[in-house]
Chains A and B, each alone.
Chain A
Amino acid sequence: MSAAPPLPPPTVPAPSGIAALRQRLTEALRDPNPILVRELRAIFRTSLFIRFLYVATAFVGVVVVAGGAIAAAGPLAPGDVGEIVFQTFFATALLVTALVAPGYAATTITGERESRTYESLLLSGMSPGRIVWGKFVAAYASFTLVLVALAPVVGVAFLFGGISPWHVVTGYVGLLYVLATAIAAGVAVSARLPSTRVAIVVAAPLSFGAAIVGTSTLAGLGELARDVWGTGMAGPFWFTDAIVVRFGEWDTFGLLVVLPTYLVVMVTWFFLATSVAAVQPAAEDRSTQLKVWSIVAVAGVWAIAAGVLALISRPDDRATAGLVVAGVGMAGTVALALLFSDEPPLPPRVAPAHSGAPAHSGAPARARPLAALLGPGAAPTLRFTAVVVVALAAGATLVPAAMRHALDRRFAEHWRFDVALMTIFLGGVASTLFIASLAAWLRIVLRSGLAARVLALCVWVVLLVLPLLAQLVVSPGSLVELDESVPLLARLSPLAPLFVAAGLAGKHLTAGAAFAAIAPLGLYALGAAVLWALTERRVVGIRAEVEARRARQAARAAQADAARAGSAGRGAAETAQGEGDAA
């Protein structure tokens, strides 16, 4: 009688969707990221942090009280004084955040390198993503504590009125948004640079500059909002009042809640993804995270383009705004083209753990064909870059055209703006693909991502400017009315489609003249095709070389094994013979 085969163990289906998210959250709370726990312990055991809390609170307190006292001494109504105190508090808190947070975050990974604990961390088996996330959350949490410690100071505003608790809550959400991007930028700088001092020196001025530009832009947008929506508050934190007063309006919700949230998430994600790429060992996949990011970013551009154009009411304005969106989108394609120019010729040799997969796979079995086509490695990454560049350019041109056709059916000049968008699309894609192919080819030839990126950027700037300068030399004054006719040499500049689009919008050019004007940009398409082909060919050559080297290596290893087995066999035979002789 044969025994019945044992029953397979009962399988518990893995939770999915909300249940999976809840399970992950529960696990994260029960057993948080070890870096977060250790960093927080270390931070709270140092007197430096407590001293900084005191100093920051005292500084903001003094500035706010002094500002309030000066305002109260004037003829202003109490409500206006309260508003000034409110603005002073948040502007000072923003200054502290912009000055200190990135510098503080810039020490997180360089600190590990300098204290020589970095390698232990890498070898501990923690993924680079987990390391970077732990560092980010720890820095974010500790600096949030600083902002919370400042909170009582804003209470001074309530003494004068004009401000509600919701204004403060909204202002704090804004500060926390800025903090997220500032900390993520600091971590990104820290992951790239070798020394803490250099990281601080780089991060602090950059973020300070970004804060100045950001605050000025915000204040400018505030003026625009006052005109359009009639909101009452001026200054960089005007949005708190706009959100509180117009929270139910969909345009306010879209522009002041959804759009900033999306932008903060994307910028923070970008910085963290670049940090992960920098922490990742060179032999491992460094680009996939950024590729995922860029896909979401491109989808976001489509949505933002649609949203912005939907907000505009006049057909003429919508058509012109479509051209502006397309122009900004083209600048984005160049950034995307250079983003992926640090990819090594071959994909990483790392195969997924326990998969038994061959070298050069680096992806789960189902995704392997896609990874071979668009995954890590110079050639697949160049193909991926082409796909996202075209997708972004399409989003920046097709969406405005589609929105215009959908919302302004009776608009008489559709064809004119359609041709203008098409010239921007064609010219932009051709020149951007040229830069992407050039950077990928330079990366392989020079064996340096930085050199390739810098050289490609220099070539781009030269191509933008040189044709215009040459045109000026040949015919001074010929660039005065570019929207009416684009001179021959200026047509070689990647800016030419923008001039042509302006000419079309201004009714100075016909469709035929527009296409003729951007025809020289076909040279970029040709150059892109040649450089792309060279890159693919070079990668094939390198792959063949590496595989031949590996085959030689395997043959030598087999020879060495055979020799070892032979010598062991001879040793055993000699021993047996010796024993026989002794007998």
Chain B
Amino acid sequence: MIRVEGLSHHFGGFHVLRDVWFHVPRGEIFGFIGPNGAGKTTTLRMMVTLLEPDEGRILVDGIDVVERPADARRIIGFMPDSFGVYDRVTVTEYLEFFAAAHGVALGARDRTVRAVMDLTELGQIREKLVSDLSKGMKQRLAIARTLLHDPQVLVLDEPANGLDPRARIEMRGLIEELRGLGKTIVLSSHILTELSDMVGAVVILERGRVLANGLVGEIGRRLRPDRGARLRLLHAPEGCEEAFRAVPGVVSVARRGVDVAVAYTGGDDVVAALVARGVGAGLAITRVEPDQDDLERIFLEVTRGDLQ
């Protein structure tokens, strides 16, 4: 859906992006992560036609965003990390304004605004002044604005920034609902645990370079071929780890109290074999925790924590 090819950019003498390549599959929630100053926002701003790259190109559904910005804007909805809203208008007037700006025909405008308000659950506050809305509701309103022209791609820069836990959960629900509608969503966030639950693929940027790109699980396996699992036993007799060591694929076993940590190569079949062997050896296994390919671990392993 989105192809970023050889993107480079500099501000003055400072190279903010260097030869960035990645690909966002259609209909996915795609995570865009990296430390501060990694070039995330610059890339997103280029994607949505707000900035022209020095080199490289971005194709969104085959449209070069630099050569055909008007066409690109028709299929992209963008919510920046810090955005403003017009204060002295109501929620409905705000959305009607942007619907008109997007060229939604006068006859269809009311219907479009109502549909978007239903989707984003803003109907109950439709007559409220925007200045009276909470931060979470303003964030919701900003997402509603990006949906008015029914874009295929949504680019959301830190959508959960500054929200309380409830608003974050609601925002996550809304994003997943939008994915359900077939939208391709590019999401930048610092809250990796939240992204973990939603994104299928990620790109990790640091100092303007791509450090990792692809499905989260694939990146995890590339980074660490050995996987791990933690088994908790009801009682851990001396020498019980020998039972697990005999399972094919197991690399190492270490016991600490009633917890046994196993490193192995292979898939989930090794975990199943570990459980079967333990039960066969008369061990009472109370919990099995295979290591997750979580974003936080990947992020920490991939990035060096350099500040720009």
Contact = CB atoms under 8 A, between A and B. Distances in A.
B71 interface: yes
A549 B55 contact: yes
Contacts of A549: 55
A22 interface: no
Given A119-B80, A354-B71, A553-B57, A560 B21 contact: yes
A169 to B, nearest CB: 34
Interface residues of B, number: 42
A38 B93 contact: yes
A116 B56 CA distance: 28
Given A30-B106, A45-B88, A123-B78, A282 B21 contact: no
B176 interface: no
Nearest to B21: A560
B147 interface: no
Interface size class of A (residues with CB under 8 A): 35 or more
B98 A120 contact: yes
**Residue in A38, A45, A351, A560 with the greatest tally of chain B CB atoms within 10 Å:** A38
Contacts of A120: 78, 80, 83-84, 98, 145
A359 B6 CA distance: 18
Interface string A532-570: 000000000000000001000100110010001000000
A116 B84 contact: yes
A284 B6 contact: no
A67 to B, nearest CB: 38
Interface in B47-105: 48-50, 52, 55-57, 66-71, 73-74, 76, 78, 80, 82-89, 93, 96-98, 100-103
Given A30-B106, A125-B74, A116 B88 contact: no
B133 to A, nearest CB: 15
A125 B101 contact: yes
Contacts of B70: 125, 353
A41 B89 CA distance: 7
Contacts of A2: none
B5 interface: yes
Interface in A118-158: 119-126
B228 to A, nearest CB: 25
Contacts of B207: none
Contacts of B23: 564
B93 A350 contact: no
B48 A283 contact: no
Interface in A18-63: 30-31, 34-35, 37-38, 41-42, 45-46
B149 interface: yes
A416 B49 CA distance: 59
B86 A283 contact: no
A348 B71 CA distance: 16
A350 B66 contact: yes
Contact of B84 (A115, A351, A556): A115
Contacts of A42: 86-89
A507 interface: no
Interface in B16-52: 21, 23, 48-50, 52
A31 B6 contact: no
A119 B149 CA distance: 16
A283 B84 contact: no
Given A350-B67, A553-B57, A123 B49 contact: yes
Q: Which 4 A-B pairs have the closest CB atoms?
A: A116-B84, A124-B101, A34-B100, A115-B84
Interface of B: 3, 5-6, 21, 23, 48-50, 52, 55-57, 66-71, 73-74, 76, 78, 80, 82-89, 93, 96-98, 100-103, 106, 145, 149
18 contacts: A38-B86, A38-B97, A41-B88, A41-B89, A42-B89, A116-B84, A120-B84, A121-B101, A123-B50, A123-B73, A124-B102, A349-B52, A349-B66, A353-B68, A353-B70, A354-B71, A553-B5, A557-B6
Given A283-B69, A349-B52, 4 more contacts: A45-B88, A123-B78, A125-B102, A557-B3
